[in-house]
Amino acid sequence: MAERKILPLDAAAARLDLMRRGGRKIVHCHGCFDLLHIGHIKHLQAARQMGDALVVTVTSDRYVDKGPGRPVFGERLRAEALAALDCVDLVAITGSPTAVDAIRLLRPDYYVKGQEFETLPRWPVRLAAEIDAVQEVGGQMRFTHEEVFSSTALLRDHAIRPVAGSTGAAARRFLDGLRARHALDDVLAGLAALRDLRALVIGETIIDEYCYCEPLGTSPAQTIVTMKQVRHERHAGGALACANHVAGFCRVVDLVTVLGQEDMLEPFARAHLRPNVTPRFVVRPDAPTITKRRYVSDSPLTKLFEVARLDDTPMPTAREDGMLAELHAALPGYDVVIVADYGHGFLSPRAAALLGARARVLAVNTQANAANLGFNRITKYPRIDYACLNEPELRLATGDRGSPVAQVVATLRAELGGAAIAVTRSGLGSLTCGRDGRTWDVPAFAATVVDPMGAGDAYLALTAPCVATGMAMDVVGFIGEVAGALAVQIVGNRSAIEPDDVARLVRTLLG
């Protein structure tokens, strides 16, 4: 019986026309109904009492704007759940982002929303358009007055569950405090303001290769496991990935990076940059483009081992002289300079000194990896405005293995002249510290992790422009963890984080 209530929108309109001719008053409710709860049921029951027939339209999956991973339940399941309610007479799935088209087709006598909309000082744009449509068809706007619940809040609280060492309770406490200090609209406006920045990204190009393998067994002649390669991916990583992340938020992004002459992967690099990234490639003679090939098993993604192809000796002097001359003239023209220093010979102390002397706002990450462990410290930069490191990089830079993170941050800040600092801590979230010395513990928001590689670059890429605009450091850390939560859902650097996804997750967590 329930499934018979679910009709295409035009068929529902025809059915309602018959009811209307019989003198029945039509009531219309609309929503996502992703997690059907007692608040929805009371709202729909109250709406049904206003007339003789209740039609409920459901937002189709493609138009659900609630954040990554939403809707949790597909449109058909959501429609079936609503149709199972005795108070609901008809259900239809809409093919538009709002209820406007459905209202014009169904022509309800009463279009009903919950009481949380009745007292708003100003109608949201979508609701205003729906109210106009109700008036066009001669209907009335009405509101129910039942206890209000929020599917988004319930799902958000479910999603913020223990992740490594970051507890759901800690996440809720942080978000409650953040809402008290900063309005959602102000946070979103801060993200929108990044569009006007001119950004320069500088660092090594790294080609990330993923070789997916499945085991064949042990060789009968030798005690080694034989793997069969089943597919292969190549991603634009390193500074290319960082530039792509930045370019989603800043309108003008320039890139200075290094390629090897041996394989000349410039066409690949250009093809995998966003259109608003303008690259300047420095070519190293007699060297390969840095390539890191990871052999992995699938389902779940498990890295087995890595083979790196690189020349990490210092840049030839002549090539470096030319690059530094160009940078000397260009650096003051950027609102923020973002350095992704992977420690493979591209950025020398000379380059670090120039960047510190000429950049208006300088944001730096010096990565610690197997090829440079202990030798690529952030202290080689004589002046930094924003340092973004993970905890091992922080401890290597200070030589402090055991002190609390906040204490180590204070040590590094003193050495860097009071720079703002963010320290990422994987599942523990991050710690941020501004020029005022106040620290903020920001929880992680990723409930699941597909691949952590590249999350640090995404964190740096999005937080650096935020610091450049003077955003509060608790908000900077929050935005960084949002970027990280999205990045760990992406395999390697297969794609960049998208501004719409960031905005949706911000709304989900702060709304």
Question: SS3 letters for 363-429?
Answer: EEEECCCCCCCCCCCHHHCCCCCEEEEEHHHHHHHHCCCCCCHHHHHHHHHHHCCCCEEEEECHHHC
Quick one: 250 and 333 in the same domain? yes
pLDDT band at residue 313 under the 50/70/90 scheme: very high
Helix intervals (H) in 31-167: 38-48, 75-83, 100-106, 115-118, 125-136, 151-159
Res. 158: pLDDT tops 60: no
Residue 378 has pLDDT above 60, yes or no: yes
Question: Where does a domain end: 87, 120, 155?
Answer: 155
**Shared domain check, 345 and 405:** yes
Are residues 451 and 490 in contact, defined by beta-carbon separation less than 8 angstroms?
yes
For residue 300, cis peptide bond before it (omega within 30 degrees of 0): yes
Task: Decide if pLDDT at 175 tops 70.
Answer: yes
Q: Which helix (H) or strand (E) holds 305?
A: strand 302-309
For residue 361, the domain's CATH number is 3.40.1190.20
Q: What angle do CA 481, 486, 487 make, to 5 degrees?
A: 95
For the segment 20-70, what is each residue's pLDDT rounded down to a tens digit? 999 999 999 999 998 888 889 999 999 999 999 999 999 998 888 665 556
- Round to whole Å and give the CA distance between 456 and 423: 10
User: For residue 349, what pLDDT is reported?
Assistant: 95
My answer on whether 260 and 137 are in the same domain is no
Q: Which residues contact 365 (CB under 8 A, 6 or more apart)?
A: 339, 340, 341, 378, 387, 388, 389, 393, 456, 457, 460
pLDDT digits (tens, 9 = 90+) for 77-96: 899 999 999 999 999 999 88
pLDDT score at 73: 82
397 in the same domain as 321: yes
Looking at the fold, whether 82 and 186 belong to one and the same domain comes out as: no
Pick from 54, 50, 70: nearest CA to 62: 70
Domain-embedded: residue 172: no
Same domain (yes/no): 182, 132: no
Residue 9 neighbours by CB under 8 Å, 6+ apart: 57, 92, 93, 94, 95, 102, 105, 106
Statement to judge: residues 468 and 373 lie in one domain? yes
Q: Residue 227 pairs with which residues in a beta bridge?
A: 215
User: Which residues, in sequence order, are bridge partners of residue 183?
Assistant: none
pLDDT of 166 strictly over 50: no
| pLDDT value of residue 160 | 47
Q: What is the pLDDT of residues 389-412, one digit of tens each?
A: 999 999 999 999 999 999 999 999
Report the percentage of the chain scoring pLDDT > 70.
94
Residue 398 lies in domain: 177-205+237-289+313-510
Q: Which residue type is seen at 282?
A: V
58 contacts 75 by C-beta, under 8 angstroms: yes
The pLDDT mean for the chain works out to: 90
Give the integer Cα–Cα distance in Å for 340 and 347: 10
Stronger pLDDT, 62 or 292, i.e. the higher one: 292
* pLDDT reading at 164 higher than 50: no
Cα 207 to its chain centre, rounded Å, is 22
Regarding whether 196 and 109 lie in a shared domain, the answer is: no
Distance (Å, whole) CA 177 – CA 3: 44
Span 179-185, mean pLDDT?
94
189 falls in which pLDDT band (50, 70, 90)?
Answer: very high
Q: Indicate whether 171 belongs to any domain.
A: no
Query: Has residue 308 been placed in a domain?
Result: no
Q: How many CB atoms lie within 10 A of CB 175?
A: 19
Kindly report the backbone phi and psi dihedral angles of residue 469, in degrees, each rounded to the nearest multiple of 5, phi listed first.
-90, 0
Residue 298 resides in a domain: no
Judgement on whether residues 447 and 369 belong to the same structural domain of the protein:
yes
The number of beta carbons lying within 10 Å of the beta carbon of residue 350 is 14
Q: Give every CB contact of residue 279 below 8 A, 6+ residues apart in sequence.
A: 243, 254, 255, 256, 257, 269, 270, 273
Angle between helix axes 499-510 and 168-181 (nearest 10 degrees) is 90
User: Which of the listed residues 155, 187, 213 is the one where a domain comes to its end?
Assistant: 155
The domain tally of the chain equals: 2
Rounded to 10 degrees, the C-alpha dihedral 194/196/200/206 comes to 50
The C-alpha atoms of residue 287 and residue 310 are separated, in whole angstroms, by 7
Helix (H, G, I), strand (E, B) or coil at 152: helix
Residue 410 burial (C-beta neighbours within 10 Å; 0-12, 13-18, 19+)? middle
pLDDT at 14 over 90: yes
- Pair 193, 98 in one domain: no
CATH number at residue 71: 3.40.50.620
CB-count burial class (<10 Å; 0-12, 13-18, 19+) for 408: buried
Looking at residue 217, its pLDDT comes to 78
pLDDT tens for 116-157 read 888 776 777 888 899 999 999 999 999 998 876 665 555 555
Encode pLDDT of 296-311 as tens digits: 987 677 888 899 999 9
**Quick one: pLDDT at residue 154?**
55
pLDDT at 336: 98
Q: How many CA atoms lie within 13 A of 277 on its CB side?
A: 26
185 lies in a domain? yes
The pTM is what? Answer: 0.71
Same domain, 283 and 413: yes
Q: Which long-range contacts (CB under 8 A, 24 or more apart) does 163-166 make?
A: 163/427, 163/444, 163/445, 163/446, 163/447, 164/426, 164/427, 164/428, 164/444, 165/427, 165/428, 166/427, 166/428, 166/429, 166/443, 166/444
Q: Residues 144, 199: one domain? A: no
- Look at residue 179 and tell me whether its pLDDT is greater than 50: yes
Mean pLDDT of 219-243: 87
The DSSP H or E segment spanning 24 is: none
- Angle, helix 499-510 to helix 151-159, in steps of 10 degrees: 100
Q: Which tokens hold the place of 307?
A: 């083979």
Q: Which two tokens stand for residue 308?
A: 């790196």
Residue 267 above 60 pLDDT?
yes
- Can you give the C-alpha Rg of the chain in angstroms? 27
